[in-house]
Structure 1
Amino acid sequence: MSDPAASIVSRASDRHRDAIADAYNQAFGFQPARSHAYIEQVGIGNFRIFSVGEQLAAVMAVIETGHWLGGKPVPAINIAHVAINPIWRGAGLAGRFLEQVCAEAAASNIGLATLFASTRPVYRRAGFALAGLEMIYEAETSVLPRVRGGRFVRLEGEPAIAAIEALYRQRCIDDAGLLQRSPAHWASLMAGNTAVFVSAVAAAPGYLVLDTSDVECLVVRDWAAINGAAAAHLLTFLGTFSSVYPRVRWHGSPQDALVFALPDKGWRLMHQEEWLARILDPVAVLQARGYSADGVLGIDLDAAGTDIPLALEIRDGQGMCTTGRTGLPTIRIALGDFGTLVTGHRSASFLARAGVLTGDPAAIRLCETLFAGPSPWVGEHF
């Protein structure tokens, strides 16, 4: 076995395709065809290789993106499908790999790293905090409205993406946590047997991306309803599939518009999982995200025993952040827990009751107001 000290992290190239496919077979049981299809969707240049000597010891996908917070996209990386070679498991490679990838992102002025964790302790030790939700709902198509003649247009290829991107962006502005989708995200979303339907009713703007490959369940790959009329309009269109599909399934938010618009019972929550975030550059993140209120707040971050004092001033929803001690109302929180506050996944008062955040009552109330907004979620698993 090679010395792990003689390791290097590099961007993958075409010569690594078979090695990555083998790593995913060893780690996740992926068959070669599935691995190569995933590599093609993501793009070989979006993989990072951890090599020990001449051996591929670990691999992960690193996709540049953003998470919409407060109506603005915060530059981020999604870390996905982290695979460790079986002979290197337990050697601490995952932590070292993450550190180098996060350092690379921070050097490129990216302030946030996010992922889904199969084993949370590893990522919590690496500074990741619970930051938002993935939720999957399911409903019986028999409970959906059965209004015929819904006005939708079916689109394909690039025109389909062009038509729905603007609607998706509007949804991101109104919501929280959603991804600033990269070409890799769009390629994954549109792969396979999908069909895009866009509402033709001006007063009900929205769309559906449907996967019709499973006759037992109609899968909504993606959707947007810009208002309540659009949510009802989407449901009436989904109801036209009731003679073929007994169920329909979709990713949704904690305050889900389709659930709210359903005319009756018959829906259920099928899956819920939290995604994690690590703050790579707190100043960059605080200045990139948007805010629903103005104010001035001091934030003391504890970074493994080293204090990072910040002053956050918000005017017209735009944050300006500087370092240094202030006489402002101040809250204190560990840098490793800061992600859950920044995304709005947990409020300042909740974190104070949990013993994670401290500060005088006025500072906590102000912090609560500044970071208020919709509960963060994502519409895809990365």
Structure 2
Amino acid sequence: MTAQFEYSTLAHPQDIQQLGTIFEQCFISALGGEEVYINQVGVKNFRIIRQSEQLIGGLATLDMGQWWGGERVPMTGIAAVGIAPEYRGSGAAIALMQQTLKELYAKGIPLSALYPAVQSLYRKVGYEQGGSWCNWEVPAKSIQLREQPLPLQPIVPVNHQVFHELYQQQARLTHGYLDRHPAIWERLIQADEKETFYAYFIGTKEKPQGYILFSQHSSEDGAILRIKDWVILTAAAAQSFWSFLASHRSQIDQVRWRSSVSDSLTLLLPEQTAKLRHTMRWLLRIVDVVKALEMRGYPSRIQAELHLDIQDNLLDANNGKFILSVANGRGEVTKGGKGELQLNVRELAPLYTSLFTPYHLQIAGKLHGTETAISAATQIFAGSSPWMADFF
């Protein structure tokens, strides 16, 4: 660590209080009770930075997983990165992120993801756009689906354990989805004071084919039904999902939910009345190149070899030439090779996630490659548009 900053875990009660105060100022209490949030995530999962023994900032680490090509890859989410305003611009945030990434590498974590307030800071430490987080909206009156093949069963009491198995079935098949941290589950099923919370299985309780969790509240735009989480595993569940929402049309003006940029659920609607209300991109950092490439899944019929030349200014082990050999849906990495696809570890992120094709990344000046390498990378990293439903 530089003489200027000291990096450590969060332990002492006075530090917890001090970090809570910094977060309160940084996030205008958006976390909803800073010390409650710190306890929910777990004190041991926070990292702090000091200057001259003064605590000046910190962040939360959420150890979870992310699904890529049908395989779960361990991933640490970074949340609540906050530096006291009087220390901003001092390099404290970069030092905090650099030390956190070095620690993650030492622990053997392949990936890290976060939602940026500003991209420039995180790009300096190797993060780049990885996938989408999108809010959709549709007028309830325009849904117009009446037929409901499956019953909807209210879930009481609501405990997140009942959703896990159904959620994981959908997550495994959704490029970029999280294997959620317990704190994310808790916040999902915790109704805030301003809303009433409802939960339903789609189908029978014994054999549900999905679920829907939602709240209803009044706003300047009229009555809103906000879907907090959903899982749909069959065509019958998709049809039932929409017909159930359509049945709210006399009281509800708008239905809002989170999905991908190209949401296949909207194919069931009679007209193109569903609109993207808000979209942003989360960032991904390839922390351990070899592990990240070997642990994800690949298209099963592809047999190809990609010669990479990677630069990483922070984590030395990621530097150099690697050969990625893909067969039977799995990848194997060996050191060496021709280095036909040259890129910074930062630019490896949108390639890894299939957010952009190698061709488009080359046009944007983000990588350089031979025709052979571009062709191999296009086959290897072909995938649906990556997204996640959770903000953290």
Q: Same fold (TM over 0.5)?
A: yes
How does 1:57-72 map onto structure 2 within 5 Å? Answer: 57-72=56-71
Is the Cα contact below 8 Å between 1:128 and 1:339 reproduced in 2?
Answer: yes
Rounded Cα–Cα distance in structure 2 between residues aligned with 1:308 and 1:194: 51
Rounded Cα–Cα distance in structure 2 between residues aligned with 1:74 and 1:301: 20
Rounded Cα–Cα distance in structure 1 between residues aligned with 2:276 and 2:3: 44
Task: Quote the residue 2:169 is aligned against.
Answer: 170
Is the Cα contact below 8 Å between 2:147 and 2:239 reproduced in 1?
Answer: no
Task: Quote the residue 2:334 is aligned against.
Answer: 322
Number of residues of Structure 1 aligned to a counterpart in Structure 2: 377
Task: Quote the residue 1:301 is aligned against.
Answer: 310
Rounded Cα–Cα distance in structure 1 between residues aligned with 2:172 and 2:370: 32
Is the Cα contact below 8 Å between 2:201 and 2:208 reproduced in 1?
Answer: no
Q: 2:197 aligns with which of 183, 194, 201?
A: 194
Task: Quote the residue 1:89 is aligned against.
Answer: 88
Report how far residue 212 of structure 1 moved.
2.5
Distance 1:4 1:19, change over 3 A: farther
Task: Quote the residue 2:253 is aligned against.
Answer: 246
TM-score by length of 1: 0.91
1:257 pairs with 2:264: yes
Report how far residue 330 of structure 1 moved.
3.0
Rounded Cα–Cα distance in structure 1 between residues aligned with 2:30 and 2:293: 42
Report how far residue 368 of structure 1 moved.
0.5
Is the Cα contact below 8 Å between 1:12 and 1:46 reproduced in 2?
Answer: no
Task: Quote the residue 1:133 is aligned against.
Answer: 132
Task: Quote the residue 1:335 is aligned against.
Answer: 345
Is the Cα contact below 8 Å between 1:168 and 1:224 reproduced in 2?
Answer: yes
Is the Cα contact below 8 Å between 1:278 and 1:336 reproduced in 2?
Answer: yes
Distance 1:320 1:33, change over 3 A: closer
Report how far residue 17 of structure 1 moved.
3.4
Distance 1:146 1:342, change over 3 A: closer
Distance 1:31 1:203, change over 3 A: closer
Task: Quote the residue 1:80 is aligned against.
Answer: 79
Rounded Cα–Cα distance in structure 2 between residues aligned with 1:236 and 1:377: 25
Distance 1:224 1:279, change over 3 A: same
Q: 2:324 aligns with which of 304, 307, 312?
A: 312
Segments of structure 1 that go 5 or more residues without pairing to the other structure are: none
Rounded Cα–Cα distance in structure 1 between residues aligned with 2:259 and 2:153: 23
Q: Which moved more, 1:26-35 or 1:78-87?
A: 26-35
Is the Cα contact below 8 Å between 2:7 and 2:47 reproduced in 1?
Answer: no
Is the Cα contact below 8 Å between 1:156 and 1:195 reproduced in 2?
Answer: no
Rounded Cα–Cα distance in structure 2 between residues aligned with 1:127 and 1:359: 20
Distance 1:54 1:156, change over 3 A: farther
Task: Quote the residue 1:107 is aligned against.
Answer: 106
How does 1:146-295 map onto structure 2 within 5 Å? Answer: 147=146, 151-157=151-157, 160-192=159-191, 193-200=196-203, 205-214=209-218, 216-292=223-299, 293-295=302-304
Is the Cα contact below 8 Å between 1:51 and 1:57 reproduced in 2?
Answer: yes
Rounded Cα–Cα distance in structure 2 between residues aligned with 1:380 and 1:33: 17
Q: 1:356 aligns with which of 361, 366, 377?
A: 366
Distance 1:319 1:8, change over 3 A: same
Is the Cα contact below 8 Å between 1:232 and 1:262 reproduced in 2?
Answer: no
Report how far residue 80 of structure 1 moved.
1.0
Distance 1:40 1:190, change over 3 A: farther
Could you report, residue by residue, the CA deviation over 1:1-21 in whole angstroms, capped at 9, with x for unpaired residues?
xx9715232234554332222
Secondary structure of the 1:205 match is: strand
* Identity between Structure 1 and Structure 2 (%): 28
Distance 1:153 1:13, change over 3 A: farther
Segments of structure 2 that go 5 or more residues without pairing to the other structure are: none
Report how far residue 153 of structure 1 moved.
1.4
Is the Cα contact below 8 Å between 2:5 and 2:95 reproduced in 1?
Answer: no
Report how far residue 157 of structure 1 moved.
4.5
Distance 1:88 1:252, change over 3 A: same
How does 1:17-56 map onto structure 2 within 5 Å? Answer: 17-30=16-29, 34-56=33-55
Distance 1:35 1:156, change over 3 A: farther
Report how far residue 342 of structure 1 moved.
0.8
Rounded Cα–Cα distance in structure 1 between residues aligned with 2:85 and 2:388: 31
Report how far residue 350 of structure 1 moved.
1.0
